[in-house]
Amino acid sequence: MSERTLRTITVNQIGYPLDGQKIAVFTGTEHDFQVVDVDSGTIVFKGSSDAGRFDKASGVTLHTGDFSEVNTEGRYRIEQGEGLASASFSISDQPYHELQQGLLKAFYYYRCGVELTEEYAGDWKHKACHTAKGIVYGQPDLQLDCSGGWHDAGDYGKYSGPGAKAIADMLLAYELYPSAFVSAIPLPESDGSTPDVLLECRVELDWLFKMQDSATGGVYHKLTTLSFPGLDVMPEDDTADLYFSPISATATGDFAGVMAMAARVYKPFDAAYARKCLDAAGAAWEWLVQHPDVPGFTNPPEISTGEYGDGVDKDERYWAAAELYRTTGKEEYHQAVLQLVQLAFPKYSLGWGDMGGYGTIAYLLNGEEQADRALYASLKEGLVAEAQRLAEQSREEGYRISLKEEDYIWGSNMLVMNNAMLLLAAEYFSGDSGFADCALDHLHYLMGRNVLDISYVTGFGDHAVMNPHHRPSVGDHVADPVPGLVSGGPDRGLHDEYVVEHLQGKPAAQCFVDHELSYSTNEVTIYWNSPAVFVVARFNQ
């Protein structure tokens, strides 16, 4: 058996807050364990794990050990006889400060159109990329500026809807937990007054403006080359022509939602910018009104990059209406919310394709006074009920997260973090801190307390992802990957050639491989990082 499979004591490899429950998950046969101070070698706690249970999604029998009694700051690991040891972890007052900074800094590394300088990017510096004009698909003579923003993922495409989700998560984090955002990351633009999270999101907002058709207000679905470049191609060497794919209703709805949100959040810092955001949101909304019934986006025949297909645009419209109402107070938008909310789409989802949850959260954050009382009550009740369902599910699962076996899909770590966000939204509206405890369990999973004993964030944790499907990390000849990137995580559907060959028959939560070829399990994206920023911010206030 390899050393890797022997590591059966799993913990959050970053650490645990001083107060609160501290739990490790074991998959060995022994139940006695000890917590050891890493520096001195002193045993600080001896305990025994519970009787154990079989966890179907993970395919293992596991038992849990509680070491909450350890409440002295320090760096520890958990050991058992037979030479078993967990990754090291800290117990401290603010264990997640650096993690939050790293998750935010990732967006700097994702930046497009600018040089990443040694001063800010260290070994991961590279020259400016994708600075040429983009061709509007189907109109070869129409070429427009399209520089800036963030690359989507391990590829260099820039996709409007996913970009909006990523910004939304971070602006929401800032709105709910502003005190978590006082430290500089730092960024080249850090000025000591505008929070860095807003400066970084502005990079993507500035690019999003360029995705709006000035004539109609509609928003181009994405900006990409015709096909993906090779895996070792650095951004500045990816020089094929860039194309704006056609306008879509989902992109336009997401754009209106995020711009209306930005108009509100940026107003205290830059009123002119806020006005620009609101005007852009209004124009996008007009397009939606003029186009009530449009087919979902599909890739044009020559374009094979990420499709982000989504046949239902009602949720994006609902989010847009709710944000526009919250920001402007205009009755026309309230009426739109009241109509759209009656349609069938998920009201509590936060995925790139299911944006209804953002609409619900915006409507609730706007306050009961401004709301239709009955709708306010039912949305609040629905959100809390959904969080209760997630919490109950988490109690069923061995690794204490809300994913069932069938939920380990492409980008399952987004679901882990989105569900944690939803739990935290429920905490915010109900005041029940039990939801936060459950959300924290989701973070523990992401950071290593999972069946593979892996931290899914590059650069964070003793056993962190090392080989993400991320072109700059493959092409840069630097041993370590770009840090702070959240990997997609297990996908039981086995959606790439590498996993088809290597992971047949694995249990759902083990359908992951830390190999650069596995784009369906080990790619990284901006919208997998962003909900993690939200979750970590809650615990950094």
Residue nearest to ligand G3I (CB): 306
| Residue 55 interacting with ligand 9MR (CB under 6 A) | no
112 binds, among Zn ion, ligand G3I, ligand 9MR, none (CB under 5 to 8 A by kind): Zn ion
For residue 277, give the 3-state DSSP assignment: helix
Q: Give me 474's structure tokens.
A: 């493959």
Shortest distance, position 78 Cβ to ligand 9MR, whole Å:
36
CA–CA dist 302, 308 (Å, integer): 16
Sheet of 53-55, strands arranged across: 9-10, 23-26, 60-66, 53-55
Is 397:55 a contact under the CB 8 Å cutoff? yes
CA–CA dist 424, 181 (Å, integer): 17
Query: Which residues touch 214 (CB under 8 Å, ≥6 apart)?
Result: none
By CB under 6 A, the residues from 212 to 271 that bind ligand 9MR are 228, 231
CA–CA dist 230, 294 (Å, integer): 34
Give the residue with the Cβ less far from ligand 9MR, 323 or 491: 491
Q: Which of 267, 323, 256 is nearest to 291 (CA)?
A: 256
229 binds, among ligand G3I, Zn ion, ligand 9MR, none (CB under 5 to 8 A by kind): none
CA–CA dist 102, 399 (Å, integer): 25
Is 294:265 a contact under the CB 8 Å cutoff? no
Give the residue with the Cβ less far from Zn ion, 150 or 287: 150
Using the Cα atoms of residue 187, residue 191, residue 192 and residue 196 in order, give the sign of their dihedral. Answer: negative
Give the residue with the Cβ less far from ligand G3I, 157 or 359: 157
| Residue 86 interacting with ligand G3I (CB under 6 A) | no
By the criterion CB under 5 A, which residues form the site for Zn ion? 112, 129-130, 235
Q: Is 386 a catalytic residue?
A: no
Using the rule CB under 6 A, give the single segment among 137-145, 170-178, 406-414, 452-460 that binds ligand G3I.
Answer: 406-414
Give the residue with the Cβ less far from ligand 9MR, 222 or 444: 222
Question: Binding string to ligand G3I for residues 340 to 379, with x set by CB under 6 A, is what?
Answer: ----------------------------------------
CA–CA dist 403, 397 (Å, integer): 8
Q: Which of 213, 427, 476, 523 is catalytic?
A: 523
| Residue 306 interacting with ligand 9MR (CB under 6 A) | yes
Give the residue with the Cβ less far from ligand 9MR, 96 or 228: 228
Give the residue with the Cβ less far from ligand 9MR, 228 or 285: 228
Shortest distance, position 509 Cβ to ligand G3I, whole Å:
15
Give the residue with the Cβ less far from ligand 9MR, 38 or 231: 231
Shortest distance, position 418 Cβ to ligand G3I, whole Å:
11
Q: Choose which of 55, 152, 169, 323 interacts with ligand G3I (CB under 6 A).
A: 152
Q: Is 79 a catalytic residue?
A: no
DSSP state of 116: B
228 binds, among ligand 9MR, ligand G3I, Zn ion, none (CB under 5 to 8 A by kind): ligand 9MR
409 binds, among ligand 9MR, Zn ion, ligand G3I, none (CB under 5 to 8 A by kind): ligand G3I
CA–CA dist 513, 138 (Å, integer): 39
Sheet of 222-224, strands arranged across: 139-144, 134-136, 242-244, 222-224, 158-159
Is 142:124 a contact under the CB 8 Å cutoff? no
Rg (CA), the chain: 23
Using the rule CB under 6 A, give the single segment among 26-34, 148-156, 440-448, 475-483 that binds ligand 9MR.
Answer: 148-156
Q: Choose which of 154, 356, 448, 472 interacts with ligand 9MR (CB under 6 A).
A: 154
Question: Binding string to ligand 9MR for residues 327 to 356, with x set by CB under 6 A, is what?
Answer: ------------------------------
Q: Which of 499, 480, 481 is nearest to 490 (CA)?
A: 499
Is 419:350 a contact under the CB 8 Å cutoff? no
| Residue 515 interacting with ligand G3I (CB under 6 A) | no
Beta strand ranges found along 11-137 (DSSP E): 15-17, 23-26, 32-37, 43-48, 53-55, 60-66, 74-80, 84-85, 89-92, 134-136
Query: Which residues touch 313 (CB under 8 Å, ≥6 apart)?
Result: 248, 249, 250, 253, 294, 296
CA–CA dist 407, 491 (Å, integer): 9
Q: Give me 255's structure tokens.
A: 């754009």
Beta bridge partners of 26: 9, 63
| Residue 153 interacting with ligand 9MR (CB under 6 A) | yes
DSSP state of 464: B
Q: Choose which of 99, 105, 155, 350 interacts with ligand 9MR (CB under 6 A).
A: 155
Q: Choose which of 47, 300, 493, 507 interacts with ligand G3I (CB under 6 A).
A: 493
Q: Which of 316, 386, 514, 516 is catalytic?
A: 514
Q: Which residues are catalytic?
A: 514, 523
Binding site for ligand G3I (CB under 6 A): 152-153, 155, 157, 306, 406, 409-411, 493, 495, 519, 523, 525
Binding site for ligand 9MR (CB under 6 A): 153-155, 228, 231, 306, 519, 523
